[in-house]
Amino acid sequence: MKFGTKVIHAGINADPSTGAIMTPIFQTSTYVQRSPGDHKGYEYSRTHNPTRTALQQNLAALENGKHGLCFASGMAAIDTLMKLLKPGDEVISTNDLYGGTYRIFARVFSKFGIKFHFIPMNNPFEVEKLITENTKMIWVETPTNPMMNIIDVAGIAAVAKKHQVWLAVDNTFATPFLQNPLELGADIVMHSLTKYLAGHSDVVMGAIVVNDDKLAEELSFLQNACGAIPGPQDCFLVLRGIKTLHVRMERHCQNGKTIAAYLKNHPKVEKVYWPGFEDHPNHAVAKEQMNDFGGMISFTLKGNKLEDAVSILEKFKVFVLAESLGGVESLCGHPATMTHASIPKEEREKVGLSDSLIRLSVGIEDVEDLKNDIAQALKGL
């Protein structure tokens, strides 16, 4: 199947009991057994649920993987991945990443003896220099949040395979519509389904997709044992959202390109971070490993004043000031005080995350309305 067909049909079958075309919401905690241990594949909904199964199969197909697993949030998915490790293990992570990921690495799992290295990853050879016998995982976001850096997944994958280290890629910003990390050599793909895949700002959920059977078995054990699983109604909402992922992403990308160009030419804007520009440091990598450049944009203001950024964010009328991203509506945020506030200021500034940086999640509205909204918000600075 082509992608636009897979989002609607992959892993999904009509309900055998009624013929319902939409996957039912199996709102049940347990399942009747004919005899002890003799059941129809489902025993208890923490372990398996038919609605969740359909979503997991669909996600695996979208990432061209074998096994999909869903969790109560993106952070629950990351928490589960970290539980593959033991005290003394080390993780090499990009230094430009979502604040919640940094927090769980630096303030939760570091307490249990896992060591994290946060480094720039624009050069795979620099990553290799840090690998020791204790290194067990390399953690990548691409595009990164919020500086929109692009990391060469295939290049990092070659290093990871050479040293028999897991490569995990957070594919939330790109979605499987724009890139498939497993095909580029990654071992693990993670998503915050809350964002583009669900797409309507009405559900919180995470997912992991892998190819390796043994790894899938370990993750399934942890999923069941630790229990951070989503409910069937949330799974239904994500399945419904995914059906329009391809058409939504086309519009996100189209609008993102227009807004990025508009901001780049605005006299009040210092710099625009968007991988579609030819002068982006890793534009060539983005062009090779992605199908398009997405709808996430960050920009800084001339003068780099916090009060200017706050003023603009308060004046937006179409862009909504809120946490999160990837919904049909356009969102704006201030990473330094919102999504990345848990990262120390000195660490934020190392990657260029200044006080005036504004992050936009460009939605699917009429792009002229979005341009006009930016114009009126920047007016008077």
pLDDT in tens, 257-314: 999 999 999 999 999 999 999 999 999 999 999 999 999 999 999 999 999 999 999 9
Q: In this structure, what DSSP letter does residue 84 have?
A: T
The catalytic position among 98, 102, 196, 273 is 98
Cα dihedral value 350, 351, 352, 358, nearest 10: -130
The tens digit of pLDDT for each residue in 313-329 reads: 999 999 999 999 999 99
Are 364 and 255 contacting, i.e. CB atoms less than 8 angstroms apart? yes
What are the helix and strand counts (H, E) for the chain? 14, 12
Which listed residue (79, 89, 152, 170) is catalytic?
170
Under 8 Å CB-to-CB from 44, ≥6 apart: which residues?
29, 30, 31
Q: pLDDT over 90 for what percent of the chain?
A: 94
pLDDT at residue 157 in the model: 98
pLDDT of residue 269: 97
Q: What's the rounded Cα separation, in Å, for the pair 52 and 204?
A: 14
Q: Which range among 108-122, 241-255, 334-348, 364-378 shows the weakest confidence by mean pLDDT?
A: 334-348
Indicate if the pLDDT at residue 198 is higher than 90: yes
Cis peptide bond prior to 143, omega within 30° of 0: yes
In tens, the pLDDT along 97-143 reads: 999 999 999 999 999 999 999 999 989 999 999 999 999 999 999 99
Active site residue 195: yes
Does the pLDDT of residue 380 top 90, yes or no?
A: no
Residue 224, exposed/middle/buried by CB under 10 A (0-12, 13-18, 19+)? middle
pLDDT in tens, 242-269: 999 999 999 999 999 999 999 999 999 9
Mean pLDDT in residue range 196-207: 98
What is the mean predicted confidence (pLDDT) over 192-217?
Answer: 98
| Backbone φ/ψ region at 345: left (φ over 0), alpha (ψ -120 to 50), beta | alpha
Provide the pLDDT for residue 173: 98
Residue 381 banded pLDDT, cuts 50, 70, 90: confident
Q: Is 98 a catalytic residue?
A: yes
Phi, then psi, of 49 in degrees rounded to 5:
-145, 135
Q: What is the pLDDT of residue 94?
A: 97
Is the predicted pLDDT of residue 335 greater than 90, yes or no? yes
Q: Token pair 């203001």 is at which residue?
A: 301
